[in-house]
Structures are given as C-alpha cells and as structure tokens.
C-alpha cells in the first residue's frame, strides 16, 4: 500500500499536484478539512464532537482527527493507498498517524515536500487571491503570517520523517509536469 504525505506551505502547489497523484496512483485523498466537513454533515459522533468545539472557536483535538482518519481507513481497506493532505501538522500528529497506520500493519511510505521560497509563495497566493476570491489570499500581511506559521510549526514534521528516511524534497517551482515527474520519481523510489 502506498501512503503518501504531500507536504508544503500554502501556495506550494499541493492541490494541483495531489490531483495528478490521485489520478496516477488511484489513492484515496484524505484532507482533514474535508474529513471534518464530511463527519459533521454525516452527523457522526466524531462530527458532532468536532462541531461543538468548532462552534466555540476551539481547535479540534488530534484524537478526534485521528478517529476520523481511522474511519476512512476502515472504509477503504481495499484501496491502493492514501494521500494525506494537511495532516500531520505537528510531530504529535505524525506520531499518532504512525501508530494508527501501524495498527493496520501499514506505515507512511514517503513524505514528498514541495519546496518553494517565501517570495514565490507570496506572489502565488496574491495571484490566487485575485482569481479565487479567498480573502486569506488577498492580504499580504496575513499571507506572510501563514507562511511564518508553516515554517515555524510544521517544519519539525519534515524533520521527523527525514529521521525515518522517508522525506523527499521536490523543487515546487517550475512547470507543473516537471514537478509531477519529480514527485513520481520520489514515489517510485519509496
């Protein structure tokens, strides 16, 4: 089974590349945002718990998110693998994900990180804001804060998987197809 973490800061191209990876490898896409919305919409116990917390402006605890991921793993036992998008964001989440996958006799195959310098990210996100209408992509100060948050809080996750020999950095600047070729090479080597 291929279990891939697609990693990178906002604006690195994860959305574009994840679509191509899913099409190529027939992986199930696990986005924590999508999972939360789906569980809430489905009225599940985890979804109701998450909604209560979110309505209070609180973050959903890791164990709730891991529970939602567990539900998806159970639901798709016969799939060729999963692509994790937006998770894990902390070392504690990575450890919890590893433990969950281990309970199924599985593990993360590879973490592919799209590396893009901060100036390029700022340019991309401002351009995306013009076309998407997303307010968080139209404010330069907010974008800089998101990039800083990523660099300071999620980089340790890359270090965690690098220590396991599962981290591969891919240059996220260039032609979409060239970047995708780099990703497929990384996957094939995993």
Reply yes or no on whether 49 is catalytic.
no
Count Cβ atoms below 10 Å from residue 121 Cβ, excluding itself. 23
Residue in 49, 77, 124, 128 annotated catalytic = 128
In angstroms, rounded to a whole number, what is the distance separating the alpha carbons of residues 125 and 9? 11
In angstroms, rounded to a whole number, what is the distance separating the alpha carbons of residues 178 and 20? 12
Reply yes or no on whether 146 is catalytic.
yes
State yes or no: 189 annotated in a binding site. no
State yes or no: 60 annotated in a binding site. yes
State yes or no: 131 annotated in a binding site. no
**Judging by DSSP bridges, how do beta strands 167-171 and 110-115 pair with one another?**
parallel
State yes or no: 88 annotated in a binding site. yes
Does an H or E element contain 115, and which? strand 110-115
Reply yes or no on whether 134 is catalytic.
yes
In angstroms, rounded to a whole number, what is the distance separating the alpha carbons of residues 87 and 85? 5
State yes or no: 174 annotated in a binding site. yes
pLDDT in tens, 25-61: 999 999 887 888 888 899 999 889 888 888 887 778 8
pLDDT of residue 120: 95
Q: Which residue has the higher pLDDT, 90 or 99?
A: 99
pTM of the model: 0.88
Compute the Cα dihedral for 144, 147, 153, 159 and give only its sign: negative
pLDDT in tens, 125-177: 999 989 888 777 888 988 898 888 888 888 899 999 999 999 999 999 999 99
State yes or no: 124 annotated in a binding site. no
State yes or no: 134 annotated in a binding site. yes
Q: Which residue has the higher pLDDT, 21 or 31?
A: 21
Reply yes or no on whether 89 is catalytic.
yes
Residue in 130, 134, 153, 155 annotated catalytic = 134
Residue in 49, 72, 74, 89 annotated catalytic = 89
Residue in 20, 74, 124, 146 annotated catalytic = 146
């Amino acid at each position: 089974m291929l279990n891939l973490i697609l990693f990178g800061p906002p604006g690195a191209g994860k959305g574009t590349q994840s679509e191509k990876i899913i099409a190529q490898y027939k992986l199930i896409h696990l986005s924590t945002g999508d999972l939360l919305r789906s569980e809430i919409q489905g009225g599940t116990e985890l979804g109701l718990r998450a909604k209560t917390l979110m309505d209070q402006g609180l973050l959903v605890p890791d164990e709730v998110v891991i529970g939602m991921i567990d539900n998806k793993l159970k639901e798709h036992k016969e799939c060729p693998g999963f692509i994790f998008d937006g998770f894990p964001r902390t070392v504690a989440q990575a450890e919890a994900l590893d433990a969950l996958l281990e309970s199924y006799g599985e593990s993360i195959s590879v973490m592919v990180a799209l590396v893009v310098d901060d100036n390029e990210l700022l340019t991309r996100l401002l351009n995306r804001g013009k076309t998407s209408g997303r307010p968080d992509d139209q404010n330069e100060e907010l974008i800089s804060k998101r990039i800083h948050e990523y660099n300071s809080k999620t980089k340790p996750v890359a270090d965690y998987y690098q220590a396991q020999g599962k981290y591969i950095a891919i240059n996220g600047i260039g032609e979409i197809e060239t970047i995708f070729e780099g990703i497929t090479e990384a996957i094939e080597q995993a």
